[in-house]
Amino acid sequence: MISSRHENADEAHALRRYVAARAAGRTYPEYSRYDAALGCWVASDAAEARGRCDGKAFRQIRRPGLPWCAWLGQDVRIAEDHALQSFFEAYATEGHDWQRLLHEVSRNRHAALRDWRRSGREVIARVSKQAKVGPDVRLPSALAEEFRIAGKGMRSLKKA
């Protein structure tokens, strides 16, 4: 029981890091180089790593053949979670949506992990249900009916 709670805490922390990286537009570097002035490894790119003739020490972080997440690097827990990824596809369509998600996950990452997974499973269930009945049948939407009818809802003055 303790190990599953610990794994859930690690996953919630990885979710917060993932959303923070997506909100900032910061991808995980595939290469790094040693900076002697700083005394540490700093992010680099493939173009800089190809020109190794200047004596700088480079290393490739991404290993060919192993799974890779563009936002977390070798930690692919969030990238391989189908429920979370379907939630992100449905609810984070614009760039500013990631800021809203970052605020939500920063407040309570365990609740965000639980709620977002549940919403993602609902999206998957809805898509699979739609696939079973066929494309010609329209299932009721999660949106309110009033927003689909012209002359009602947020844009009530707009004509059909």
- What local confidence, expressed as pLDDT, does residue 114 receive? 96
Dihedral sign, Cα of residue 141, residue 142, residue 145, residue 151 = negative
pLDDT in tens, 82-106: 999 999 999 998 889 999 999 999 9
Residues 6 or more apart whose CB falls under 8 angstroms from that of 64 comprise none
Residue in the structure block whose two tokens are 């898509």: 127
How is residue 148 written in tokens? 């689909």
CB < 8 Å & 24+ apart, contacts of 99-107: 99/23, 101/19, 101/22, 101/23, 102/19, 102/20, 102/23, 105/15, 105/16, 105/19, 106/16
**Residue 1, CA atoms < 13 Å, CB-side half-sphere:** 0
Distance from C-alpha of 61 to C-alpha of 79, rounded to nearest angstrom:
18
pLDDT class for 153, splitting at 50, 70, 90? low
